[in-house]
């Protein structure tokens, strides 16, 4: 079993986890959270969380990206997991970097690809709210509040184009290989 200690590796400028036996450096990097403000007219979809942290509070469909998916695919998966919603991504609404949590949030603006929603396994309930009816005192995280306000201020405008990756280069959109290398 490896013995890990926190120290500054040679040639680095910050503490990292380093194996005392082989000097392997374990890099701890931020996690990517993806989610969507799913709106129809002036109503937005919110989910009441069934899981910690902040169980019982309202959030947008969002969560950690999985390996092998694009950010848009991750946001669509999260909408399905939390609200059994099939969504159509309109564009990137906001990007938030929350350094103290080690998170980068990519929030999309979205609509319905297919009508209908219901609470998924991670939600107690899912509902659409008009802006004035959003339960602001029961919003789970500050980033949800930020994203809702970004949506409200941009809801009547086109989102700027965001360069993600060249469409002719599939390395950005192909899933990662599964299984042993051949």
Cβ distance 98 to 105 under 8 Å?
yes
- Min mean pLDDT across 74-78, 124-128, 154-158 is at 154-158
pTM of structure: 0.85
> Is the confidence at residue 165, as pLDDT, over 80?
no
pLDDT reported for residue 161? 77
3-state secondary structure 38-103: EEECCEEEEEEECCCCCCCCEECCEEECCCCCCHHHHHHHHHHHHHCCEEEEEEEEEEEEEHHHCE
Domains and CATH numbers, the chain: 31-154 (3.90.79.10)
Burial of 60 (0-12, 13-18, 19+ CB in 10 A): buried
Give the pLDDT confidence of 45-54 residue by residue, as tens digits: 999 999 999 9
């Amino acid at each position: 079993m490896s013995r890990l200690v926190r120290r500054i590796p040679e040639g680095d400028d910050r503490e990292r986890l380093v194996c005392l036996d082989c000097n392997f450096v374990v890099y701890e990097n931020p996690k990517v959270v993806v989610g969507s403000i799913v709106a129809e007219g002036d109503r937005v979809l919110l989910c009441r969380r069934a899981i910690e942290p902040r169980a019982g509070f309202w959030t947008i469909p969002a969560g950690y990206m999985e390996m092998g998916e694009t950010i848009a695919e991750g946001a669509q998966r999260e909408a399905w997991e939390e609200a059994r919603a099939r969504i159509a991504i309109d564009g990137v609404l906001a990007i938030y970097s929350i350094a103290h949590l080690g998170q980068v949030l990519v929030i999309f603006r979205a609509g319905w690809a297919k009508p209908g929603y219901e609470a998924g396994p991670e939600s107690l309930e899912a509902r659409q709210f008009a802006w004035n009816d959003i339960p602001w005192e029961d919003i789970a995280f500050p980033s949800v509040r930020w994203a809702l306000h970004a949506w409200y201020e941009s809801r009547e405008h086109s989102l700027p184009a965001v360069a993600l990756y060249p469409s002719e280069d599939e390395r950005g959109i192909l899933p990662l290989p599964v299984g042993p290398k051949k």
